[in-house]
A and B are shown apart, each in its own frame.
Chain A
Amino acid sequence: MDKWDPECRDKVEQFKHSNKDFLSNPLIKEFLADEEHYELFTEAVCSPCDEVQERINEKFKEFYFRIRFISYVSSTLYFHGINLDKKIRKHDQRFPLQLDQPINNESETTLKELIEYKENDSIDSGDVLDFISDPVLYKAIKSLTNNQQDILSLAYVKGLKDVEIAALLKKTQQAVSKSRKKALNTLKSILLKSDEEKEL
């Protein structure tokens, strides 16, 4: 530090003396530990020239920014990582890929035991034709009159009594009973005929 004249050195000493707190700040300590920075600092204390002040300001900004930015990014990444992890774990817990694992630590029931079994093979229809799988019978019912088909549907799909069907269709119970029996007889004769044809 011989290149500094004694007057300058005095100034620096004076500054150091009156700014003990400032110089013991860990950031400033670290900043001045760099030789280039320290030279700049001495220069800045000695000469109040604007250009030098600006330079030390700029250097310190870079130094300070570096520290702040790195620590900010590091903690942001760290906490964001933890949060993401928590989210994933929560999601995994709520939508597990394994069904035979105990729901929680105490119970022995597993998820697969809690799954509801839904019987889904009932046909949601009121038409008798939708329940027929035999093509011969299907054709036979198709050949009946619309009225007879309706009555068959109500009687055998919905399970209504003749009286109820009569009330629904605004007919007498006797008429309903007669058409139903006639329909059944027609079906019987058609089926018997087709059986005979098969035998031949």
Chain B
Amino acid sequence: MGQLNLYELAKRAKKEEIAREQILELFQPKIKKTLLQTAPHHREDVEQELSIKLLNVITMYDLDSAVGFWEFHEMTQKRKKDAKRVVE
């Protein structure tokens, strides 16, 4: 796909600091963009806070919450059934 496998990276980031740094690097543009709303003299503080938040997200995020293809298929089927039942 040519793009970085974020799933693998996030998995590794739970233990490896290098992977964490890589994710942090990946989201730098987003952080920089968010900083535009803050007053210039507070930007450095906010940048730090946001980086801390991102590191928290990386360690807290539940990787198992991503489902496989067929699980997703089942989920949509079930949702459809449920929706039908509600209508009936």
Contact = CB atoms under 8 A, between A and B. Distances in A.
Nearest to A32: B69
| Interface magnitude class on chain B | 35 or more
Contact of B50 (A68, A72, A81): A81
Interface in A19-55: 19, 21-22, 25, 27-28, 31, 34, 36, 41, 44, 53
A195 to B, nearest CB: 64
A77 B69 contact: no
A60 to B, nearest CB: 4
| Interface magnitude class on chain A | 35 or more
A65 interface: yes
Contact of A84 (B46, B63, B66, B70): B46
Contacts of B54: 73, 76-77
A27 B5 CA distance: 18
A58 interface: yes
Contact of A65 (B37, B45, B66): B66
Contacts of A181: none
Nearest to A91: B42
Contacts of B65: 68
B20 to A, nearest CB: 13
A143 to B, nearest CB: 63
Interface string A49-71: 00001001111111011101110
Contacts of A21: 76, 80
Contact of B34 (A34, A44, A58, A81): A81
A65 B71 contact: no
Interface in A81-103: 81-82, 84-85, 88
Contacts of B35: 81
Contact of A77 (B6, B34, B77): B34
Name which of B27, B31, B73 has the most chain A CB atoms within 10 A of its CB: B73
Contacts of A117: none
Contacts of B77: 22
A139 interface: no
Interface of B: 1, 5-8, 10, 27, 30-31, 34-35, 37-39, 42, 45-46, 49-50, 53-54, 57, 61, 63, 65-73, 76-77, 80
Interface of A: 19, 21-22, 25, 27-28, 31, 34, 36, 41, 44, 53, 56-62, 64-66, 68-70, 72-74, 76-78, 80-82, 84-85, 88
18 contacts: A21-B76, A27-B72, A34-B1, A60-B69, A61-B7, A62-B7, A64-B67, A65-B7, A69-B10, A74-B30, A77-B30, A77-B31, A77-B50, A77-B53, A81-B34, A84-B49, A88-B45, A88-B46
